[in-house]
Structure 1
Amino acid sequence: MLRTEPFFLFLGTSTGKEMTTGNLYIVAAPSGAGKTSLVNKLVETTPGVVVSVSHTTRSPRPGEKDGTHYHFVSMPTFKAMLADGLFLEQACVFDHCYGTSRAAVSAQREAGLDVILEIDWQGARQVRTLLPECASIFILPPSRRVLYQRLMARGQDSHETIDRRMAAALDELSHYAEFDYLVVNDRFDEALDALRAIVIANRQCRETQLERQRRLLQTLLS
């Protein structure tokens, strides 16, 4: 989250060999708001940003690959991982369970990568409790009508399923106030610019720059 206190602003790279711990982002949205498309484009166009690959008990959708979109596991396997405390957060949605690996996220951040968690508001609460330094972003649709049209455009679900997803989307929307940033996905490019601005700004906050630019600061002030 952006800090209000004074901070050093360096746009260059470190002059030393220090490894900076990457920032952690939560990105949530109602189904149909365009979250996944935005996050995928952000990762594609912004070096140093990755998406954590979650575990899920649901079956792959057309075009999804194990280990790339999700780690697809059985319910018994998921429950065993949960019992062993291997998840940073977990939730069950539409009769399927999802979870984020603690070890995988830690390893990516320790490698200096900014990590995005695509999770719902329930998972966001769990992560904020454990890692309060994370920044959370909520993606909003421009209207209810557009949201419903986007759900319909998938062409994969029955009308009953779409109505069910719409109801769940409105429930998800009611939790927007729990997030640090709100981004409206009306025009895709503008929403993408907003997401990228958040990531870049957070890289300049004092705590991150003190870690990244420690050697430079010592040189400047010696």
Structure 2
Amino acid sequence: MSQQPSEALDRPHRLVVLAGPTAVGKGTVSAYVRDHFPEVWLSVSATTRAPRPGEQEGVHYHFVDEPEFARMERDGELLESAVVHGQNHYGTPRHPVEAALAAHRMALLEIDLQGARQVRASMPEALFVFLAPPSWDELVRRLVGRGTEDEEERNRRLETAKVEMAAEDEFDVTVVNDDVRRAAQELVSLMRSH
């Protein structure tokens, strides 16, 4: 008797896109997923911004200069790209995402709102998850508390966050980041069920 491959193994996973306002903790939730759920493949974005303390090339981001980013865009190597907070370019390398999905891996993109909209246009079958703060005041506290931006940058990010918060209804589901562990577990549970 020949064995049939498991239907679950043959079914491609649905790309999951995680987005939300600045300082909501997208990177922290994604890092928790990376550290505790090795079955989830996490996309590594390219960016033109400088590394923050503790960030590693190829783990947190691919840090590239402006000419290289422009070349990647021009050559169609990015699934999405955007200028974030009016300053730095961010983008998702296309090939690794396509390879992870072709290998039937659970694939997660952690990107900004502009990028999520671009991915929706090209991959509408993806599951779009909005990561929300427990409250606006908590979002402000997190942004100020992380201490990685000067006052001008914080104000720019808060203005951006107001616009990003208003886009929540564009997403398929909302996960509230009131606790990193709980939010990450809810996200992975959604990935497993889709």
The TM-score normalised by the length of structure 2 is: 0.90
Moved over 6 A (4+): none
Deviations along 1:141-198, one digit per CA (max 9) or x if unpaired, are 1111111110111122222221221111111111111100101112333323321221
| Alignment counterpart, residue 86 of structure 1, candidates 69, 73, 77 | 77
1:190 equivalent to 2:168? Answer no
Segments of 5+ residues of structure 2 without an aligned counterpart are none
Whether contact under 8 Å (1:48, 1:112) holds in the other structure is: no
Structure 1 residue 19 displacement after superposition: 4.7
Cα displacement (A) at 1:18: 5.7
Q: Distance in 1 between matches of 2:9 and 2:110?
A: 29
Larger Cα-atom Rg: 1
Q: Does 1:22 align with 2:13?
A: yes
Counterpart in the other structure of 2:50: 59
Gaps of 5+ in 1: 1-13, 203-222
Question: In the alignment, does 2:158 pair up with 1:170?
Answer: no
Identity %, equivalent residues? 40
Deviations 1:13-65 (A, max 9, x none): x5489654332111001111111111221233234212111111111111111
Separation of aligned partners in 1, 2:95 and 2:9: 22
Q: Is 1:125 the equivalent of 2:117?
A: yes
Residue 136 of structure 1, CA deviation: 0.5
1:92-131 deviation line (CA, Å, top 9, x unaligned): 1131111111111111111221111111121111111111
Residue pair 2:13, 2:104 contacting (<8 A) in 1 also? yes
CA RMSD of aligned residues (A): 1.8
- TM-score normalized by the length of structure 1: 0.79
Q: Which residue does 1:159 correspond to in 2?
A: 151
SS of the aligned residue for 1:62 comes to coil
1:46 aligns with 2:26: no
